[in-house]
Structures are given as structure tokens and as C-alpha cells.
Structure 1
Amino acid sequence: MSNTALDTSASYESRPRKAAKQRAFVIFVCVWVILIAAGITGAKLYSEHVQQQIAADVERQTAGQIAEMQKQYEDRITKLETGYKDDLSQLESKVEALNELLTFTKDNADVKTDNSNKLYSQLNEVKKKLNELQKNLDVLK
């Protein structure tokens, strides 16, 4: 019987050690699980934070580029409008000159045509004489 008494007392002593080892192992595993979960959570929060920062930076850059493009577009439109108005005013002046010429031609289309031709010939002769006089004056100087 002494053998059984030793076995029971030995088994009592080994049980608390086994239980203590098991508790330590469970605590160790729980701590590792908590650390892993905290690491995963921290990584997820950090990645979301970085994503938000990148999205904000991209949004700022995009807004700046859009504003620049809009300014360039408005400048081009203004330039085109100015060119269009200039071309239109030149065209209007040409049309007015053509209308004056047509009116002059219409007015002189009757019997006076011969007179206008004579006047034109006389003007050409006067211009020739003026040019000759100018040459003579240049020679005299």
C-alpha cells in the first residue's frame, strides 16, 4: 500500500505542475493571439490612413490641374473671341469699302462714265508729272 500512497501523492504533485504548464501555455497562446490581432488591426488602420492621405493628395493635385486647364481654356476662348472680332471688323470695313465702290460705280455708270475715265486719265498724268518734278527737285538738291 505504500506504493499506492506514493503514486497518489506523486500524481497530486504532478497535476498542479501539468495544470500550471497548461495554464502558462494557454496564456502564452492568448498573448500571441492578442499581439497578432493588434498587429493586424494596427496595419489595417495605418493602411486606411495612408489611403486617405493619398486620396486627398490626388484630389488636391487633380483640382489644381483642372483649374489650370480651365484657365488655359478660358484664355484660348478669349483669344479666339478677340481674333474673331478683329477679323469681323476687318471684313466689315472691306464690305463698306466695296459698297462705296459699288455706289461710286453706280453713280458714274451713266453718261458721266466718260468724264470719270477722263478724270482718271488726268489724275494719272498729274501723278506722272509730280513724280518727274520730284526727280528734278532731287537732282537740284
Structure 2
Amino acid sequence: MQPLAESTPVHSRTASARSRSSVKWFLLFWILMIGLGFYAVYSYTNHLKEQVLNELSTQSQQQLTVLKTDYESRIGVLSQQVKELQSTVDTFNELLTFTKDNASNKTDNSNKLYTQLNEVRKQLAALQKEMDLLK
């Protein structure tokens, strides 16, 4: 009976060593799987971040293009209005000069022209301020 008793502890040691070895491999496998999972999540998050940044960049470029065309069209309109007001001011200046040359002490037409000229100058100054704000 003694030979059986001696073989039992050796057999239990090898089974214990095998179970320890399989537990080590099992734990190593799960640690590796968890590490790969974290890496996959990190990579996917970076990919999504780059994709969102690219989309935002594209959208902002489109909005800037729209704003630029709107700005240029407004500048064009304001420039045209300034030219029209300048021609009106020039016309009033000519009329004022003519009226001053032909005015007598009995008429008050020159004061009316001065008033109209001042109003046009105020409008021109307001348009100039708008144009400067747009710049």
C-alpha cells in the first residue's frame, strides 16, 4: 500500500501545477483581452474626434464663404449708395452756388437748400459709418 501512498502526492502536485498554470493562462488571456478592449475604445474615440473636427472645419469654411459673399455684396450696395449720395450732394452744391449767385435779399431759398444739403450730408455720414463698420 505504500507505493500507492507515494504516488498520490506527486499526482496532486502535478494537478495543482496544471491548475495554477491554467489559471495563469486564463488570467493572462483576460488581461490581454481587457487591454485590447481599452486600445480599441481609445482608437475609435480618436477616430470619431478627427471625423467631427473635419466636419466642423468643412462647415466653418462654408459659413465663412457665405459671410464673405454677403459682406462683399453689402459693401457693393453701400458703395453704390455713397456714390448716389455724393452725386446728390454735388448737385445740391451746384444749385446752392447758382442760388447764392442769383439770390436777392427778399428770398429765403438759399436757407432751404442749406438745410437740404445738411440732411444729405448727414445721410452720407451715416452710410459712411455703416460702411466702416462692415469693414
Find runs of 4+ consecutive structure 1 residues off by over 6 angstroms.
Answer: none
> Distance between the aligned counterparts of 1:11 and 1:103, measured in 2?
136
Pair 1:34-2:19 in alignment: no
Residues 80-113 of structure 1: CA deviation (Å, up to 9, x unaligned): 21111011001101101111111121121149x9
Unaligned ranges ≥5, structure 2: 108-135
> Distance between the aligned counterparts of 1:48 and 1:76, measured in 2?
42
Residue correspondence of structure 1 range 31-70 to structure 2 within 5 A:
31-70=25-64
TM-score, structure 1 as length reference: 0.69
Q: Which residue is 1:135 aligned to? A: none
RMSD: 1.7
Amino acid at match of 1:58: V
Unaligned ranges ≥5, structure 1: 1-5, 114-141
> Distance between the aligned counterparts of 2:68 and 2:6, measured in 1?
92
Amino acid at match of 1:35: F
Residues 53-93 of structure 1: CA deviation (Å, up to 9, x unaligned): 10110111011011111111211211121111011001101
Q: Which residue is 1:84 aligned to? A: 78
Q: Which residue is 1:25 aligned to? A: 19
Give the number of the structure whose alpha-carbon radius of gyration is greater: 1
Pair 1:74-2:68 in alignment: yes
Matched positions, count: 106
> Distance between the aligned counterparts of 2:4 and 2:61, measured in 1?
85
TM-score, structure 2 as length reference: 0.72
Amino acid at match of 1:60: N
> Distance between the aligned counterparts of 2:99 and 2:6, measured in 1?
137
